Each structure stands twice: as C-alpha cells, then as structure tokens.
Structure 1
Amino acid sequence: MNLSIDLSPDPYILILTGAGLLIALVAWLPLALRRLPLSLPIVCIAIGVAVFSLPQVTLAPLPMSYPEITERLSEFVVIIALMGAGLKLDRIFSFARWAITWRLIAITMPLSILAITAIAGWWIGVSWSIALLLGAALAPTDPVLAADVQVGPPKSGEEDDVRFGLTSEAGMNDGFAFPFVHLAIALAAAAASGEAWFAEWFTYNVLWEIVVGIGAGYLIGRLFGWLTFHVPAKMKLAKTGDGLIALSATFVSYGASEIIHCYGFLAVFVTALTFRHAHRDHEFQLEMHELTEQIERIAMMVLLLLFGGALVNGLLAPLEWIDVAAALVILLVVRPVAGMVALVGHHAHWREKFLLAFFGIRGVGSVYYLAYGLNHMENVEGGDRLWAFVGLVILLSILMHGMTVTPVMRELDRSNGRDPDADETTPPPGLQGPAKI
C-alpha cells in the first residue's frame, strides 16, 4: 500500500501565518523605528516588494486590474484614519484656534489643485478634466501615512502647532477635495454630452454635500457622545471600556452620510471631533484612539503590501521622463510654495512654517480619489499611465518624507523644550490609573 504525504502547505494556513506575522509587525515596528530615519510605510512597501517577488506568489495587485477593490479598500483605510485623527486632537474647535487649518485648507489646497492641474494639462498632456482629477487627488495631505507628523494620543501633550496643523489639515482636506473630484467628473461628462453642469455641481456637490456632511457628522457625534458619557451611569458605554464604540461611530457616520448623499469623509472627521468634545478629559478617549490606531495600522500595512506588489508587477512601467519631473515638482515645489503662501502673516517661527509646508504627505487618499474618479468616468484613455503617475508621487512622498520625518520632528521637540524620548518610559499626563466613570 502506497501512502503519499502532501508536504505542500495549505494556502489557508499560509494566510493565517502571514496575518499573524503582519499583526506582530504592526505592534513591534513602530517601537523599532522610533529613532531611525525610516518610517513604517517604507518598511511595509519593502516587505510587499519582497513577498510579491517570490515565484510562488502569482497575484499581481495592480489597481487598474481591481478598480472596485482598490476604491473600497482605500476608502476603508481613510475613514478609520479620519476617526483616529479627530479623536486625538486636544485643541478645542474654534475658528480662531484653528487658524492654521483654515489657511492650509482655504489657500494651500486650492493653490495646489490649480498648480497640479496646470502641470498635468500642459506637461503631461492629459485632458483638462483628467488633469483636474489628478489635482484633486494629489493636493490633499494624507491622514493615513502622515501619522509620524501628527499629534500624539489624547492628552499626551504632543500637540505643537506643526503637528496640530498637519493633523487637522489631513482631517479636513479629504472632505473639501471631493467637490473638485466631482467637478472633474462633471467636466468629463459635459465634454461628452454637451449638457450644462455648473448649477448641479455647485448646489449639490458643493453646498449640499459639504453643509449636510458637517451637520450629519455633528449630530452623530453628539449622539455617540451622549450614549458613551452622559446617559445614566449603569448604561454608559464608557463603563464597558470597549473602544470598539469608536469603530461603530466611524461606520455609522460614514454610512449614514453616504445614504443621504453627502461627504462621508467630512462627516467622519466632524463626528470624531464632536465625540471627543463630549468629554474631553475622560480616559476612555485614549482607549477609543488606541483601538482605531491599531485597526488603521493593520489596514494600512495590508494596502502598502499590495502597493509594493503593484510596484514589482509593473505599476510604474507606463511612466515617461516628463512624469518623473512633474512628480518631483509637485512634491518639492508646489506643496512647499503653496504652504508658505498660506502661512504669510501667521505668527510662527520660519522653521515651523517650513515644516507645515513641506510635510504634505501624499498617500492612501490619493489612491481613493483617483480610483473613485476613474470608476465614475467613461472611456478614460491612458488609465495605466495615470495610476503610474499617482503611484510615483506616493512612492516618492513616502521615501522623501519617511526618511526625514524622524530626525526633523525630534529636533522640533528639542527646540520646543520637550524630550522626544520622555514618553518611552513615562505615561502621558492624566492617563495613569484606572478610568473613572
């Protein structure tokens, strides 16, 4: 009797093993990279390149091959990051206290969209509707990959003007960039049909979706804040100590806002701000933030592993030399100049202004906006080159910002009189001891 033993591993077992290693990396890598001029996204992409270079891995995770999956996966990562960003902001919302944010949103982002649109239309040679789509996709600061330049956990004291400005900008600009994505879609449709577009775009995609998105986010944040902190003692959700409620608020806010056709990204961030304001000093805020941060890191690592896989499977192959030059100009000229223009007259040291202008990291949000735009346009030519161009900008941004962020932000902490290594052994102020109900 012949007994044959199959020694090849079950794919399911391989997936479980890989998931375990991924989660271990999520927990360990931030500690290992704390003092190195290297960021977690760089390591994730390198691992993705290594894994998808193996001959046994036949999947080619190119975004043009999986347009719907690309849109939905990047969408999921962004909304989790937006909730985390809103929950960790200590600064109370007001127009005066958020002056940096308004400058970056109202001046830097429109100038960046205009400049990138001009570069894409005149240099790269795409149609003006596609050029505008690229401008809207590449102008916003990414809330996912900018974790190293954002504020620390709630009540940690890590909220200088640079970190606050970049965090609040990343939270706000994803919602305010969406009208320009819709404008690009409207212009493309109008070019094909000749129909009027301005009135519908302005009243619906600008006024309705922004105003109602803010309102929906505020109401949902108030509801979750009341359920968590202000209902009778025995029914307070904060009493459970279960940070999953933040994930629930994220999904409800995004889902409800999309059901009524308004900007879900904006609604989620407003929900997070309102939720945080419901009880700013409660220790449960830290538990909610920690859970969202863990989920965000896992989802981000999965997406960046796939991005690394796309790189080794020819994502950048359609690029031309003019595309490389345009990408460098966008990162080294457009964002820094637009950022510095917005901060003219702002009372801050020139070094802080430069950091605010320089660290406009591009990433997952750009993936989502390009995927959304291409999925809602008809007969777009040269989609492979568009993905190659956006992929190149993201890759260069991750490398350039990732290798400079650690030493630069540590030096910023020292110049502000803060020891960048102090929180390695000391818990954040106000978070010692058990939660109080």
Structure 2
Amino acid sequence: MISWVRQSIIPQTPDLDSTAFSDPLFLSTIGQFLVEHYKLWLLSIGLVVLLVAWLPLLLKKLPLSLPIIFVGMGMAIFAWTPLAQFSPHPVESPVLIEKASEFIVIVSLMGAGLKIGRPLSWAGWSITVRLLAIVMPLTIAFIALSGLSILGLPLASALLLGACLAPTDPVLAADVQIEKPDSEDSDEARFALTSEAGLNDALAFPFVHLAIAASAASLTGGVLAEWLWHDVVWRLTVGALVGGAGGWLLGQIIYRLPQDTRLSRTGDGFIALGATLAIYAMAEFAHGYGFLAVFIAGLILRRSAEGDDFNTEMHAFADETERLVMMVLLVLFGGMLTGGELLADIGWSNIIVAALVLLVIRPVIGYLGLVGVDRPPLEKFVIAFFGIRGLGSVYYLAFGLNHGDFAEQHSLWETLGLIVLGSILLHGLTVTPLMRHLSRRIYNKDE
C-alpha cells in the first residue's frame, strides 16, 4: 500500500531508489524539480561558470559588460523555461535577498581593499573625501526629496530609498575600478571610484538606520541623539577599530611570522575569504559596521604584503568568488524582472525618479562636488557619471525592510529595481568607450 501511494504521488526517476523518497528536499516541489533535471543543472552550471571566465576577454573592447549578459540570461531563463514557476520576488523572499547580497558585498569590499596600495594622505585621498562627505549626503537628500515629491512616499520610506541608492556599488563597478593590486596607481578616476565604493557602503548605513528609526517613531531630539551616538559614532568607530586590529593581526600571521610558519607559505588564496568572514563577524558581534571593518582590513593586509605575491593570490580568489556569486545573483535579478514581474506596475513617476537618479542627481552633484579639484574635466565627468547602483542597494533595501516598518514596499522595490536595471544598461554600455577615451586622452595609454 505504501509503495502504491509513493508511486502515485511522487514522480519516479530511474536513478533513485525508494530510500530517496524520505529526504525532505526531494519531497518539496523545488527538490523534485532539481533532482529530475540534475544532469541538465550540472551542464548549465558548468557552461555558465566557463562563461564567467571567458566573457571578460570577449567583452573587453565591446560596449557590453558581464552584468548585462547575466541579467539578460536570467530574464530569458525565468521567462521561457520551466524555472518560471520558481521566479523570485524580493517582497516574498526578503531574508534570502538580504543575506545573499550581504555576502557578495563583503567579499567585494575585501577585494577592493586588497588592491589599493596608495598611502593614506589628504592629497592622495582628497577626491574620495569629497565624494563621501559632500556628494553622498547630498545625493541621499535629493533622492529622498524625489521620493517624497514624485513618488509620494512617506518620510521614512523616502529616506530609506535615498540611503539605498546613494552608494556607488562595489560589485557592479568592477569595470571602472582598479583592476588588480599591481595595477598602475596613476588612474585617478579608477582610484577615486574604487576607494569611494569601498567606504560609502559603510557610511550609508547610518542613514539606513535613521530611516528605520523614522519608520518606528517620529524623529525627536532623543531619537536623533541615540542615532548619532549609537549608529554613527559607535558603529563607525568600532568598525574601524576591528578592521584595523584584525587586518594588522592577520598581516602578522600571514607575512611576519617565521618563514616556516607564516600563512602565506600555503599559497591558498581562499585565506582572503576566511579573513573576510571572520573580520566581518567580529565587527558585527561588537555592534560595529562590518562593511567598514572588512574594507579597512583589506587596506592593511595590502600594506602588510609589501610586494609579496601572496596578496595577488588572495585578491584573485576574492575576485573569482565575487564574480561567481555575482553571476548567480544577477541571473536571479533577471528572473525577478520577468518571471517575478518586479517591474509590472511601474509608472511614469518611477521612470522619472530613475532618470533623475542616473542622469541628473549623481552626475550633477558628483561634478559639482569636485569643483576646485585640479583634474581634467573629462576625468571629473567620469568620476561623477559612474556612480553605479547595484547589489549593494539591493542589500540595503532588503535590510531596511526586514528591520523596520515601511509603507509602500512594492513601490520601493519597483523603483530600486528599475534604477539598478537602468544603471546596468547605461553604465554597462558606456563604460568601455568612455574609459578607453579617458585612458588615451588623460593617461596616455590604451585600455
């Protein structure tokens, strides 16, 4: 009788015996789908991983980018295959979206830190300071104002939207960043965008927490004082201290111990991933900003290396991990757009806000923020224009919605999804010709 029930309810596959049917994964709908198409999954994943490695070579001189390719793949897969029934939607899977995007952001931040070798100085980092201290707060304010006046969002939701969309994404901005640790440091635009992306994720977090506080209560003097102390002063200080101490300690273990015991002798680049996760978790346990800790740790590890090739090995592993996870998340993002119908209800108000963010707010504020900087206009334009929005913005919105009580959640996701898609297309199509033109005109070299 039991055998008959199993055969009538659960589809049989020739590669499985009866013991597999007690596996909870197999009893679920998605589990059955995965098992029934297991070999096809292996083939598909293998081909996509090969594409991750090969496509950068093919796209190097074309006005295309990896994010465009993988978002397009996701849109096609979730629109025209049986996977459409599993199309993701951020409102339905907010915790999964938050944790997946959080992981790729911290890996990306470690990679960014490991490839910046410029010493800390006002002259060397002045553009970065302007982007963080002037451009980002003004960008948050103007995006929030757009949300209030055009989308009709409540104050808390508008502030959350501004905080999510202000940071330059460390993941999708790879094409405008320093390529690797031994790259030349003369490309001011690449350095500015890399250092900005490494720091502005952490510096946007206080504004996310301010939006969460506004969603729970009115912003009274007491609420603002608590926010200023705990979410600005304490969290930033702890994040910086944990990152500095953790990076220094790991630098001693990796590069300074006696030759036969130092960690660099292993040659294992995955040490970068272990360092990333350990330092991030320690900072979060201490109620600091893990994003800041990871980036600072990467900077210190880069300096501890002092030319040791192992730093390149760690960066290479972090970069490979980032690209693989990015591929998965962008395919899922494409699925949200088609199968999940994330943009099904967008209207002219969403389109207007998206156009303002991508074409007006960041470029104009970014350029004005660099007034007085003695750099060529073309270079300042590139720095201002490539404020790429991506998976970091997805993380912040998911985090905010999971920890606060915000109205208009669907409108927030629709607007953010449209802006991220617009950024992937706009910046992905223009990055190759603009960066090549900048390199020839300003840096006297070919990209």
CA shift for structure 1 position 12: 3.0
- 1:155 corresponds to which residue? 182
1:35 aligned onto 2:71:
no
C-alpha deviations, 1:18-45, integer Å up to 9, x for none?
2212211111111111100000000000
- 1:261 corresponds to which residue? 287
Give the TM-score of the pair, scaled to structure 1: 0.92
- 1:342 corresponds to which residue? 369
CA distance in 2, matches of 1:310, 1:266: 30
Number of aligned residues: 416
- 1:402 corresponds to which residue? 428
- 2:224 corresponds to which residue? 198
Secondary structure of residue in 2 paired with 1:98: helix
- 1:97 corresponds to which residue? 124
Q: Check the 8 A contact 2:118/2:185 in 1, yes or no.
A: no
- 2:383 corresponds to which residue? 356
Of 83, 89, 93, which residue of structure 2 is paired with 1:66?
A: 93
CA distance in 1, matches of 2:96, 2:175: 27
Q: Out of 18-27 and 360-369, give the one that drifted further.
A: 18-27
- 2:215 corresponds to which residue? 188
- 1:270 corresponds to which residue? 296
Q: Check the 8 A contact 2:178/2:194 in 1, yes or no.
A: yes
Given residue 255 of structure 2, which amino acid in structure 1 is its aligned partner? F
1:141 aligned onto 2:168:
yes
Of 109, 118, 130, which residue of structure 1 is paired with 2:157?
A: 130
**Unmatched tracts of structure 1, length 5 or more:** 422-437
Q: Check the 8 A contact 1:113/1:136 in 2, yes or no.
A: yes
Of 305, 314, 323, which residue of structure 1 is paired with 2:350?
A: 323
C-alpha deviations, 1:101-133, integer Å up to 9, x for none?
100000000010010010001111000111000
- Flag the 1:417–1:322 CA change in 2: closer, same or farther, 3 A: closer
Task: Say what the alpha-carbon RMSD is for the aligned residues.
Answer: 1.7
Given residue 38 of structure 1, which amino acid in structure 2 is its aligned partner? L
1:247 aligned onto 2:277:
no
Secondary structure of residue in 2 paired with 1:143: coil
C-alpha deviations, 1:49-106, integer Å up to 9, x for none?
1111124112111111100000000000100000011111121222331111100000
Q: Name the structure with the higher helix share.
A: 2
CA shift for structure 1 position 5: 8.5
Q: Check the 8 A contact 2:154/2:407 in 1, yes or no.
A: no
Q: Check the 8 A contact 2:157/2:408 in 1, yes or no.
A: no
CA distance in 2, matches of 1:109, 1:305: 29
Matches within 5 A, 1:223-242: 223-242=249-268
CA shift for structure 1 position 321: 0.6
Given residue 250 of structure 2, which amino acid in structure 1 is its aligned partner? F
- Flag the 1:5–1:260 CA change in 2: closer, same or farther, 3 A: closer
Give the TM-score of the pair, scaled to structure 2: 0.90
**Unmatched tracts of structure 2, length 5 or more:** 1-11, 16-32
Q: Check the 8 A contact 1:88/1:151 in 2, yes or no.
A: yes
- 1:207 corresponds to which residue? 233
Secondary structure of residue in 1 paired with 2:123: coil
Q: Out of 47-56 and 356-365, give the one that drifted further.
A: 47-56
Of 62, 74, 88, which residue of structure 2 is paired with 1:48?
A: 74
CA distance in 1, matches of 2:91, 2:375: 43
- 1:370 corresponds to which residue? 397
Given residue 317 of structure 1, which amino acid in structure 2 is its aligned partner? A
- 2:140 corresponds to which residue? 113
Given residue 282 of structure 1, which amino acid in structure 2 is its aligned partner? D
Q: Check the 8 A contact 1:151/1:159 in 2, yes or no.
A: no
CA shift for structure 1 position 200: 1.2
Q: Out of 139-148 and 311-320, give the one that drifted further.
A: 311-320
